[in-house]
Structure formats: structure tokens, C-alpha cells
Structure 1
């Protein structure tokens, strides 16, 4: 119940009906996820795989797992160092972590999911 209370404020603007909530938050429940076919196609290219590898390397050493620390780590490696646009950079991570290209805000979602599950999902998507 605590996860639901935490996620509701961040999905409020992304849903039109209450019936959309389960689809939007299902990634938070369970250790693994299934990436839908449309989203899987979006992370099968070399750039996406590189994004995921570099994201994993940037996130693994974090000792504080918060949306701010996740945001800073990913922006540094993907935007500043790789020179990617945010949509490209964060899209691959979003799909790896949530299983879909449509989800609640990425950094907050990763914080709620927890470091171990988020990193495992990124590894599995590579």
C-alpha cells in the first residue's frame, strides 16, 4: 500500500482514468518485467545497448538512491558525456526499467523500484 501512495502523486498527470493506474504501475510489482514488443524494438539497436551499459556503470556506484542522485548520474553520462538528447538517452532506460516507453517519471520510478531491481532490469535488457 505504501508504494501505491508514493506513486499516485507522480502518475496523477499522466492518467485520464483510474482504470489506467494498474497498467502504469505494474512494473513496481514483481522482480522481473516483460518488455512489450513495440518497446523491445526501440532498445535493440547499438546506441540503446550502449546507453544501457553506461547507465548501469553510472548507477551501480551510487550510495544514495534518490531521484536526484539517479537524475544527476544519468544526465552526466548520457547527456553531458555521450551528447544524447534526453528523449533518446532516457527512453532506453525507461523501457529497461518499466517494460514500456510510457511510464511514470523515470527517476522517481527508479527510486520507488529500488536500486537492486532497477539495476537487474537494466542488465537483463542489455
Structure 2
């Protein structure tokens, strides 16, 4: 579900150019509900907050150590909530590069906002 034609780039890359990302409701329902998402987002926040080198390689190592090794999650379970927090969607450009481009402040703010969303009870 990645970009097929260049005209799709705007939609896929928009999250990099706005301060607050709009989270797709279907993506949120799929990836940001329950205690698992809160645990993943907390671990990701802690790992990224501790970084002194905000590079793609450092981000990748920190997240893999915290989420896959630390929490014992499979990559899809580990990175799904983080991807939605960062890009607002389940499909996005490569995650680690996106986080590097987004920068520390906006990344941590989006993780915090997604955690708040994950804590909300289901609608209905």
C-alpha cells in the first residue's frame, strides 16, 4: 500500500510538514487501543527521549532494543502503534527515517498525543 504514483506523495508525506498529525480513525482503532499500545508508546518514548544522537541508525537501534528486545514484541506489534503515532496512518514512508526527519520535539509530542488517545475508552 505504499506510493504507486507520484501524485500520492502529498498524502503520504503530509505528516512531515504539519505540527500536529491527524490520526486516521481506522488506523487508531487498529493500532492505538488497549494496554498493549500504551506500553509500546511508553517504551518508545523512553527510548527516544534518551537518545543523544538523533539519526536514523540511532532511532532504529533504540526502538528495536526497547520494543522488540525489551518488550518481546514482534516487529509488526511493536512498530504499528509508533507508526500511527508518527504518521497518523498504518502505511507510511520508512519509520526510522520519518522519525529522524520529523525531529525530536515533534516525535515525542506525537507519541504523547497517541498515548492519550490510546488511553481513551472505546466510543459507543
Determine if the TM-score, normalized by the shorter chain, exceeds 0.5: yes
- Provide runs of 4+ in structure 1 moved above 2 Å: none
Distance 1:103 1:45 in 2: 22
Distance 1:35 1:15 in 2: 19
Instruction: Name structure 2 gaps, 5 residues minimum.
Output: 116-124
Measured after TM superposition, the shift of residue 30 of structure 1 is 1.4
Measured after TM superposition, the shift of residue 29 of structure 1 is 0.9
Q: From 16, 20, 27, give the equivalent of 2:4.
A: 16
Q: How does 1:19-58 map to 2 (within 5 A)?
A: 19-41=7-29, 42-58=31-47
* TM-score in terms of structure 1 length: 0.87
Measured after TM superposition, the shift of residue 49 of structure 1 is 1.0
> RMSD over aligned Cα, in angstroms?
1.2
Q: Deviations over 1:72-102 (max 9, x none)?
A: 1111111111110001101110000110000
Q: Deviations over 1:25-84 (max 9, x none)?
A: 000011101101111112111101110011101110111101100111111111111110
Aligned length: 114
Distance 2:44 2:5 in 1: 33
Tell me if 1:107 matches 2:96. Answer: yes
Tell me if 1:90 matches 2:79. Answer: yes
Distance 2:88 2:48 in 1: 19
Distance 1:74 1:104 in 2: 17
* TM-score in terms of structure 2 length: 0.88
Distance 1:29 1:81 in 2: 31
